[in-house]
């Protein structure tokens, strides 16, 4: 809930901050206006952490550069064509942008950049009223021409102009609405929500890279399920990640199974909670969160109604990994992220056999080897995948995974499990067998690796003896 008195006090502190005060004096002395704008104003009012500061001014880019250079340890003008100059002032990174009055052609989301003359004109072109507020400095004075403060009080997300016009100008704003719904815990205004559903097809003009960027930002929020539901309900998710709405499987009257869509959102929420518990203070793990959201997307394609009312999803892990790779590549995710997400999806069922009967040390070693660098994420995803309401079953699975993690730690301490290599390297294999580099060295290496996994450390002498016996048997 917004406390206006406290919010205004925080705005005052924002205006009096050393970097704001220095810039305000410099622009005023040069005869120009300056205001803190957008997210920092919104977050200060809400009591949220304010990170980067954004400023806007009636000065043109060349004037901005001239004014800030004496105050800066560094400047950059990569956004000059859009009126933006970046600078490092008093140790803080800031961006200062000339008032804008852009227009859109309705075919692409790229605006025709036009500089504006007034702050109110600049604010009217922004995405949502809560982002269309500014704090004039020096002063300070709050400028809110579209009712952003009232919407913050009501916890409502609304476009500052007709939503058809706003989303028509830039369809990416519809994805931003979902992100802010999660990030700020606000409700989307009914007229804005209706426009999102109606204009969803216009998202097709937005590049995959831009869509990916908004998806990543949504998944980085503390509770992305609100935004995900919004995207699914408005039909937007169907356009770039249709595998998620497809999880809403129809339930046959004679066959019953868990609601896969709701299960997936629960797994995502539980993964985020475990992520914060196990790694407090670290940046959101988007790779883990993608895997949690998508881990069961193979189920619709593998669902089989069995006699007696059962439902099976055989090999949905493998199918889901293939589907995820295709989708993540289409969204232009980098290769490392795509590989990690697909590996987690493919391996997310591996553990459940352990709960039925304790694994041998060999099986534990193989679990670690196969997980590789994704082991910690696999720990979290597997734990999060338990959503049963049966407390006894949930407790049994939790205890089983506590046990497997303890055994992994014990084996790692005993055997340096992380390295997971045979006791003889390729050079020593060639020396022992008297062979040259080639396919046979690889076969010998895999033979010794199997011994390492099955029996643990046996020592180099025993490894050489076993290698010679294996080689002789081949002959």
Cβ-defined contacts of 336-342 (< 8 Å, 24+) = 337/286, 337/287, 337/290, 340/287, 340/291, 340/373, 340/374, 340/377, 341/287, 341/290, 341/291, 341/294
From first to last of its 475 residues, what are the pLDDT tens digits of the chain? 677 778 888 888 888 989 999 999 999 999 999 999 989 999 999 988 887 789 999 999 999 999 999 999 999 887 888 889 999 998 888 999 999 876 665 565 566 677 888 999 999 989 999 999 999 999 889 999 999 999 999 999 999 999 999 999 899 999 999 999 999 999 999 999 999 999 999 999 999 999 999 999 999 999 999 999 999 999 999 999 999 999 987 554 434 556 889 999 999 999 999 999 999 999 999 999 999 999 999 998 888 776 666 666 778 889 999 999 999 999 999 999 999 999 999 999 888 766 566 678 888 888 888 898 999 999 999 999 998 888 888 888 888 888 888 888 887 776 655 556 788 888 999 999 888 888 889 899 989 988 887 787 888 899 999 999 999 898 6
Question: Cα 307 from chain centroid?
Answer: 40
Kindly give the pairing relationship between strand 92-98 and strand 53-57.
Answer: parallel
Predicted structure pTM score = 0.82
The token pair that represents 38 in the structure block: 């957008």
Among 249, 251, 336, residue whose Cα is nearest residue 290: 336
Beta bridge partners of 141: 136
**Distance from C-alpha of 371 to C-alpha of 380, rounded to nearest angstrom:** 12
H or E segment at 407? helix 391-415
DSSP state of 249: P
Burial grade of 186 (CB within 10 A; 0-12, 13-18, 19 or more) = buried
Rounded to 10°, the helix 286-294/316-330 angle is 130
CA distance 200 to 191: 14
Euclidean distance between CA atoms 367 and 69, whole angstroms: 57
Residues 6+ apart with CB under 8 A from 207: none
Query: Domain residue spans in the chain?
Result: 1-147, 155-240, 245-419, 421-474
Q: Is 92 helix (H, G, I), strand (E, B) or coil?
A: strand
Instruction: Give the C-alpha distances (Å, rounded to integers) separating 211 from 93, 324, 442.
Output: 26, 16, 43
Q: Which residue has the tokens 């011994």?
A: 451
> What is the residue whose two structure tokens read 């605006």?
111
> What phi and psi values does residue 428 have, to the nearest 5 degrees?
-70, -35
Please identify which residue in the block is written with the tokens 């922004």.
126
Cα dihedral 386, 392, 393, 395 in deg (nearest 10): 50
Whether the bond into 140 is cis, omega within 30 of 0: yes
Phi, psi (deg, nearest 5) at residue 385:
-75, -5
Cα 344 from Cα 288, distance rounded (Å): 8
Q: In this predicted structure, what is the pLDDT of residue 108? A: 56
Residue 329 has which token pair? Answer: 């590549």
Do strands 304-305 and 311-312 pair parallel, antiparallel, or not at all (unpaired)? antiparallel
Architecture of the domain whose range is 1-147: 2-Layer Sandwich (3.30)
The architecture (CATH level 2) of 245-419 comes to: Orthogonal Bundle (1.10)
Residue 302, SS3 per DSSP? helix
For residues 267 and 215, what is the distance between their CA atoms, to the nearest angstrom?
18
Q: Is 328 helix (H, G, I), strand (E, B) or coil?
A: helix
CATH 3.40.1390.10 for the 155-240 domain, yes or no:
no
> Looking at residue 252, what is its pLDDT?
45
Q: Which residues contact 196 (CB under 8 A, 6 or more apart)?
A: 163, 167, 174, 177, 188, 230, 234, 236
Q: Report the distance separating Cα 427 and Cα 262, nearest Å.
A: 53
- Alpha-carbon distance of 83 to 77, in angstroms, equals 9
Please tell me the distance from the alpha carbon of residue 469 to that of residue 315, in angstroms, as a whole number: 38
Predicted local confidence at residue 354, as pLDDT: 61
């Amino acid at each position: 809930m917004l406390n206006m008195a406290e919010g205004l006090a925080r705005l005052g502190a924002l205006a009096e901050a050393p970097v704001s005060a220095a810039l305000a004096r410099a622009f005023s002395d040069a005869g120009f206006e300056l205001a803190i704008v957008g997210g920092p104003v919104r977050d200060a009012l809400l009591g949220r952490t304010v990170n980067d500061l954004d400023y806007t001014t009636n000065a043109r880019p060349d004037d901005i550069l001239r004014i800030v250079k004496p105050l800066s340890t560094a400047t950059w003008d990569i956004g000059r064509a859009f009126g933006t100059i970046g600078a490092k002032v008093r140790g803080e990174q800031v961006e200062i942008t000339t008032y804008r009055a852009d227009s859109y052609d309705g075919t692409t989301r790229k605006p025709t950049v036009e500089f504006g003359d007034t702050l109110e004109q600049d604010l009217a072109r922004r995405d949502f009223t809560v982002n269309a507020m500014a704090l004039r400095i020096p002063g300070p004075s709050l400028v809110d021409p579209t009712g952003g403060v009232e919407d913050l009080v009501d916890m409502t997300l609304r476009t500052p102009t007709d939503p058809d016009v706003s989303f028509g100008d830039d369809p990416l704003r519809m994805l931003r609405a979902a992100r802010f719904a999660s990030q700020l815990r606000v409700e989307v205004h009914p007229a804005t929500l209706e426009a999102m559903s109606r204009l969803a097809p216009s998202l097709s003009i937005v590049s995959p890279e831009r869509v990916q960027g908004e998806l990543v930002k949504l998944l980085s929020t503390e509770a992305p399920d609100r935004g995900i539901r919004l995207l699914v309900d408005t039909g937007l998710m169907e356009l770039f990640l249709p595998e998620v709405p497809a999880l809403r499987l129809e339930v046959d009257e004679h066959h019953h199974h868990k609601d896969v869509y709701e299960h997936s959102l629960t797994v995502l929420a539980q993964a985020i909670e475990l992520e914060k518990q196990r790694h407090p203070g670290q940046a959101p793990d988007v790779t883990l969160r993608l895997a949690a959201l998508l881990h069961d997307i193979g189920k619709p394609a593998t669902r089989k109604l069995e006699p007696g009312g059962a439902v099976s999803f055989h090999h949905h892990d493998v199918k889901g990994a293939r589907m995820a790779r295709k989708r993540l590549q289409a969204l232009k995710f980098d290769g490392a992220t795509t590989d990690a997400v697909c590996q987690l999806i493919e391996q997310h069922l591996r553990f459940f056999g352990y709960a039925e009967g304790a694994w041998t040390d060999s099986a534990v070693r193989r679990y670690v080897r196969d997980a590789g660098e994704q082991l910690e994420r696999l720990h979290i995803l597997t734990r999060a995948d338990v959503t049963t309401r049966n407390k006894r079953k949930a407790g049994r699975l939790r205890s089983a995974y506590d046990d497997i993690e303890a055994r992994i730690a014990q084996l790692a301490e005993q055997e340096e499990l992380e390295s997971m290599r045979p006791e003889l390297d390729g050079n020593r294999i060639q020396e022992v067998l008297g062979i040259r580099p080639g396919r046979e060295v690889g076969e010998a290496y895999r033979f010794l690796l199997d011994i390492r996994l099955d029996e643990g450390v046996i020592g180099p002498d025993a490894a050489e003896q076993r290698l010679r016996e294996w080689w002789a048997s081949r002959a």
